[in-house]
Structure 1
Amino acid sequence: MKFCLLGETNSQHGQWFANGITAELVANGFHFCNEPADQVENIRVVFNFLHPANMKPFRRKAQATFCVAIAETDRVPEDILKEGYPILIRTLSNLLLYVVNAGETFDLYFITPERGCYSVRYEKGNDQAFFRRVSEKLIPIVSSRLVINNEFYRDLPEELWNGDTITAQLAEAGKKLDGLNLLPAPFPLEELLTQQDLRHLKRLFGIGGLSYGNLSARKDRQRFWMSASGVNKGDMRVIGRDILLVEGYSEERNAMILNVPPNIEPRRVSVDAIEHWMIYTRHPDVQAIVHVHAWMEGISSTEINYPCGTWELAKSVSDLIRQSDDPSRAIIGLKNHGVTITGRSLEDIFQRIEGRIIRQVPMT
């Protein structure tokens, strides 16, 4: 797996960090490329060292390239996520490593698109232990495989153009999530990015906005209805735009297959469609799934915070569902992210989570 460095590595910790993470990755089988990132074929990971006065994004050409932005501050922000998240978005990155320097020790914060925010502390003289801990968190993330391509077939049967009883239930469930304040307002991408960068971000990751949470319900043995990416889940109305029918997954083309009406310009399905597909495929008794960026006490959780839309996250969640007492009624924590809840119906899910939801996701 190839990786390279670019940007400003001559800051107080820049070259030290570059040398340390390079050595750790090479020791774990990664191949360091000294050529410019945009000239390396099949580059997998790019570390973009940012200058405070010029936080220039790396414009990767392929979804498979994972961009890690590295920034540094000499003060402790009042709100790490609020300060770091705009840097993550402005630099078009998959992950931000934010160095908060506090003298003899400093903290390296991981900030993710899912609003994950957790840290690794450096103590003077313990370089080896620090970089080992960083790589243990970093390598699984940068090695994961995205499944976010959509293939649209405009062959949805006419009797489904306006939906069915299941889509009506999904729309009502979306309103319930909104009423429970479980659909936090998205970060304003238009205020953080230029129009050119916004188009680039949408092209790479097929997003319509950072709208958190998603929900789905089984249509039949193979198909399921699911909320679209970036849509307001509290106001889902149009089939093909707000709610889509997922036909399946093509392993050969690494894409989700969707049936849409011929007269609608479709939105992309939620980035978590691969997770929902895997759950429905492996667990035939599951009839509905809700995912929110919140938490519940006493639940099983994934060990690694794989990015949304990756095969590895889908498999981790599905495996934990299989190990639960009743896969059709499981509640699984996604580390530093949220919860995925299966049910025998959407109503069943809401009855089980009422009064138990914790808004703050624990970060570790």
Structure 2
Amino acid sequence: MRGMDVPVFTFYGRVPEGLQEFVEGVQAALEARGYRYDAQAEAPRLVLNLITPEDPRPYRRKAQATFVISLMRLDRVPEPAIQRLYPYLVRALSNMLIVYTPGQGARFFTLELGHYIEPEGAAFYERVADRIDPIARSVLVINNRFEADLEPELWQGDALTAALREAGRRLAAWDLLPAPFPIEEILPPEDLRHVKRLYGIGGLSYGNLSVRKDAQRFWMSASGVDKSNLREIGRDILMVKGYDPEANTMVLSVPPGVRPRRVSVDAIEHWMIYRAHPEVGAIIHVHAWMDGVPSTQFNYPCGTYQLAEAVAEKMRAAPDPACAVVGLKNHGLTITGRTLEEILERIEGRLVRQVPMT
């Protein structure tokens, strides 16, 4: 699975007053790196949604593979910028919001990745395109195929799911943030509901965790569930048994008669790590940080094949992949171990709650 070789992009909406030069500069920078502009594209890879503070109109996606980046001009950025501007990202149902301020530069806001700035100056539009490119070339792996073939003796779980529940309770007690920033303090309830609909999740939580069952399968927490209360097999805890590259879908075993939840969006990442490193027995992902850890280079979105590849590459380079910590740039940590308990003992008291943004 790879991103498209020639991403097609388009604009949505009229160019707001004072944004024409910025729009033209971004378009030229994208075309210079191989993107193709198509004003009539039915299912573009990338939509640049032109909005104003008075009208943060959303672009309604016709295809799951479409990423939306909203562009807006402000002559003065209100402070605190995150609290004041994140609602525009959400109301426009965007993967990223870029706020351009003439004479200063562009501020970037993304749900997963926080807030950072590119100042005006040399190669400004090329640097803006550098921020856009990882998103536009990414491929989401968030679809699930549920097969009611889980062995009856596992319908109520096993010793591994008991360990998963206990690890979830311990992590919840550490009071980690549900995202790299305190999103619940930034977004009102209606905007938070928009976020959940946009990303197809049941809620926002501090991360996810999994434990290997055998050579091919692993148990993993579901998307958006309360990790301190992992109870039902097939809803709160799921058995991941593979990845179907043709359908770009995670394949899961569930008990019959259960209405399953989606597995965590990071299932593709965990699948890659377990497949490449038989000695890895457990994985925890948290929205926190540790000083001195190797980190992925690009801001790939959560749930994409590209982010999974980037993390897997860092794991391969670790001295001991079964006992490694990899930073996800501007997002959090993925931590491997032979057991969940061993991971928790290694990281307890060492986590930095706020993820640094760069």
Q: How does 1:206-221 map to 2 (within 5 A)?
A: 206-221=200-215
| 2:13 is the alignment partner of 1:15 | no
Alignment-derived partner of residue 273 in structure 1: 267
What amino acid is aligned across from residue 108 of structure 1 in structure 2?
A: A
Return the match for 2:30 from 15, 25, 28. Answer: 25
TM-score (norm 1): 0.91
Indicate how the Cα distance of structure 1 residues 339 and 159 shifts in structure 2: closer, same or farther if over 3 A, else same.
Answer: same
Q: How does 1:28-107 map to 2 (within 5 A)?
A: 28-35=33-40, 40-99=41-100, 101=101, 105-107=103-105
Indicate how the Cα distance of structure 1 residues 214 and 33 shifts in structure 2: closer, same or farther if over 3 A, else same.
Answer: same
* Cα pair 2:46 2:68 within 8 Å, conserved: yes
* Cα pair 2:68 2:95 within 8 Å, conserved: yes
The 3-state SS of whatever aligns with 2:120 is strand
Return the match for 1:3 from 5, 9, 27. Answer: 9
* Cα pair 1:63 1:205 within 8 Å, conserved: no
What amino acid is aligned across from residue 132 of structure 1 in structure 2?
A: E
What amino acid is aligned across from residue 44 of structure 1 in structure 2?
A: R
Q: C-alpha distance in 2, partners of 1:360/1:205?
A: 23
Alignment-derived partner of residue 114 in structure 2: 116
Q: What does the per-residue CA deviation read over 1:227-262, in whole Å, with 9 as the maximum and x for residues that have no partner?
A: 111111121111111111001100111000011111
Task: Report the CA distance between 1:162 and its aligned residue.
Answer: 1.2
Deviates more, 1:179-188 or 1:282-291: 179-188
Task: Report the CA distance between 1:144 and its aligned residue.
Answer: 1.0
Displacement over 4 Å in runs of 4+: none
Q: What does the per-residue CA deviation read over 1:302-350, in whole Å, with 9 as the maximum and x for residues that have no partner?
A: 0001000111110111111111110000000000111100001111111
Task: Report the CA distance between 1:294 and its aligned residue.
Answer: 0.8
Percent pairwise identity: 53
Cα RMSD of the aligned pairs, angstroms, is 1.8
Gaps of 5+ in 2: 1-6
Q: C-alpha distance in 1, partners of 2:83/2:263?
A: 27
Q: C-alpha distance in 2, partners of 1:329/1:320?
A: 12
Q: C-alpha distance in 1, partners of 2:350/2:17?
A: 46
The 3-state SS of whatever aligns with 2:302 is coil
Q: C-alpha distance in 2, partners of 1:97/1:349?
A: 37
* Cα pair 1:2 1:33 within 8 Å, conserved: yes
Q: C-alpha distance in 1, partners of 2:200/2:293?
A: 31
Task: Report the CA distance between 1:146 and its aligned residue.
Answer: 0.9
Q: What does the per-residue CA deviation read over 1:71-96, in whole Å, with 9 as the maximum and x for residues that have no partner?
A: 23333333332233222222111111
Q: C-alpha distance in 2, partners of 1:212/1:55?
A: 28
Q: How does 1:280-291 map to 2 (within 5 A)?
A: 280-291=274-285
Task: Report the CA distance between 1:274 and its aligned residue.
Answer: 0.3
Gaps of 5+ in 1: none
Q: C-alpha distance in 2, partners of 1:164/1:183?
A: 29
Alignment-derived partner of residue 191 in structure 1: 190
- Greater RCO (CA < 8 Å, at least 6 residues apart): 2
Task: Report the CA distance between 1:183 and its aligned residue.
Answer: 4.5
